[in-house]
Amino acid sequence: MKLTPEQLAEFDKEGFLFFPSLFSPEETKTLTDAVPELYSHRAPYNVREKGSDAVRTNFAAHMTSEPFARLARHPRMIEPVESLLGEKLYMHQFKVNGKMGFEGDVWQWHQDYGTWLNDDMMPTERAMNVAIFLDDVNDFNGPLMFIPGSHKKGVVEAKHDLTTTSYPLWTVDDDLIRQLVARGGDKGHYDAEGNYVPGGIISPKGPAGSMILFHSCLVHASGSNLSPWNRVAVYLSLCAVSNHIRRHKRPEYIAHRDFSPITCLPDDCLTKDYPVETPWKNGVPPSALETSLEPFGSTVAAVAAQASEGATS
């Protein structure tokens, strides 16, 4: 899938691109059907909501589940990101977020690249976030919110929030959010026909199977899910191969260590059983839980110098 010059310009300006219904209901169902099995395991890679059994986020499904391993190699997702980053990609992070009906908690305002820099020592922001909806996303089930254009600010100041939710996150404080939103168009308004014209917060909503590409510095958040409807979504982070992380401070199921370039499967890979490897099907190996504060590789000094105060996921 090639991006048009208009799409490239929109990505540069807004920091995201939305592709409603990119995957068909039949394709999406192969993924949705695999989620209960993923969430059933009592394992560190299933992070549950605070005070609840509902899964907040599942890590590394592409290493344990064949449908997700195929999605991780899907050309409709990989090719546009390769064209935006101008290089082959590897999988830095793979999450299936639950945001379950009544139980799904907030994701505070944050950007992702700050964490990848400060925790994982990823040298530059040449990595892309991809969200794929496995449920319909509407006004009520905790849609993702973006501050359009906020990616232009690079890595912004953030604080490590260890208490609000069950997952530690480098979050951006209210004053800075206020400024970024004002810069992005502030409140939005209703036009003469009564249509809402968005301002400095935008929320792409659409059917299951929709995809969003968003910049690793785009500031984003989502509210809690007070509706009865789940909002399961896959979040993948694809990194340019030459921009691989330089430190294994976090376990491998959160920040991956295989930097080999992703080879795409054919376009119909979600509905045909192309062979894929799922090396962690019988459990995450002990080596994937080992962590180290010591950087590795030759560009370490430069990256370490760049990593100062942190941001997010």
- State the residues that interact with ligand SIN by CB under 6 A: 97, 99, 107, 144, 220, 222, 233, 235, 313
Helix (H, G, I), strand (E, B) or coil at 6: helix
Report the residue number, 88 or 159, with the smaller CB distance to Mn ion: 159
- Angle CA 283–127–139, to nearest 5: 85
Work out what residue 23 binds among ligand SIN, Mn ion, none; the CB cut-off runs from 5 to 8 Å by kind.
Answer: none
Separation CA 214–CA 151 (nearest Å): 9
Work out what residue 222 binds among Mn ion, ligand SIN, none; the CB cut-off runs from 5 to 8 Å by kind.
Answer: ligand SIN
Report the residue number, 232 or 270, with the smaller CB distance to ligand SIN: 232
Report the residue number, 64 or 222, with the smaller CB distance to ligand SIN: 222
Separation CA 16–CA 310 (nearest Å): 22
Work out what residue 99 binds among Mn ion, ligand SIN, none; the CB cut-off runs from 5 to 8 Å by kind.
Answer: ligand SIN
Please give the torsion angle defined by the CA atoms of residues 5, 7, 9 and 10, in that order, rounded to the nearest 10 degrees. 160
Enclosing H/E stretch for 59: strand 55-59
Enclosing H/E stretch for 118: helix 113-118
Counting contacts by CB under 5 A, is residue 27 touching Mn ion? no
Q: Which of 14, 103, 112, 252 binds Mn ion (CB under 5 A)?
A: 112
Separation CA 195–CA 166 (nearest Å): 37
200 close to 176: Cβ distance less than 8 angstroms: no
Counting contacts by CB under 5 A, is residue 222 touching Mn ion? no
Report the residue number, 58 or 313, with the smaller CB distance to ligand SIN: 313
Report the residue number, 176 or 300, with the smaller CB distance to Mn ion: 176
In whole angstroms, how close is the CB of 150 to Mn ion at the nearest point? 13
Binding site for Mn ion (CB under 5 A): 112, 313
